[in-house]
Amino acid sequence: MKRLMLSVSSAMRSAVIGLFAVMMVAGAASARAQATPEALIEQVGSQLLKIVKTDTAVQRGELPALLKVVDENVLPYVDFEKTTRLAAGRHWRQATEAQRQSLINEFRMTLVRTYSGAVSQVKQDTRIELRPARYAADATDVVVRTQILQSAGEPIQVDYRLEKQSQGWKIYDVNVMGIWLIENYRNQFSQEIGQHGFDGLIKSLATRNQSFAQAR
């Protein structure tokens, strides 16, 4: 059987700046910034762009620097457990707690690995522009629509799904040029689990992640 290629499609690869923007919108936000999902996206997006533009280690794609950015500035504002659970789909229910945690850890590293090259695509004039909201004022699960702009190239359409939780708004999915991250990986995860089981998926991700870490 054809082995699963755990990578993004060509369309997502061409929009790698936009997908890396999930890191650009999840930084050290203040309580005021989380009053609305748009405020979260706008304020911390600018903060993370500044980090990417000025930190040479991050620009070079150095793994320790990237993981530091993710751990300190991304994970506190992303419901990554929900992202992983939805990507695993129905298989999540059959997994043990240890398997779930292993998948969360390896999926996190997979996204860092896959999109680490996006950093070099961020230019000094790269900026995030909010688009008009299309949800009810009392909604607790919303889509914030943005586009990534820079002088060279067409705008990259990026949408974010956020859920209002007790700790504030949390990002859990991102759409680049019509492709949702969770949906893309759900198809890949389902195929891998169907062929090799839940542990096989974890092993496949871990093998690629280890190779990436050693190369760095």
pLDDT in tens, 5-49: 444 444 444 445 554 555 554 443 444 445 789 988 777 677 778
Instruction: Choose the weakest-confidence range: 67-71, 139-143, 145-149, 186-190.
Output: 67-71
pLDDT in tens, 75-115: 777 899 999 999 999 999 999 999 999 999 999 888 887 76
Query: Comparing 129 with 24, which gets the higher pLDDT?
Result: 129
Half-sphere exposure of 92 (CA within 13 A, CB side): 15
Domain ranges of the chain: 10-211
Query: Comparing 142 with 151, which gets the higher pLDDT?
Result: 142
CATH topology of domain 10-211: Nuclear Transport Factor 2; Chain: A, (3.10.450)
Rounded mean pLDDT of 182-201?
96
pTM here?
0.81
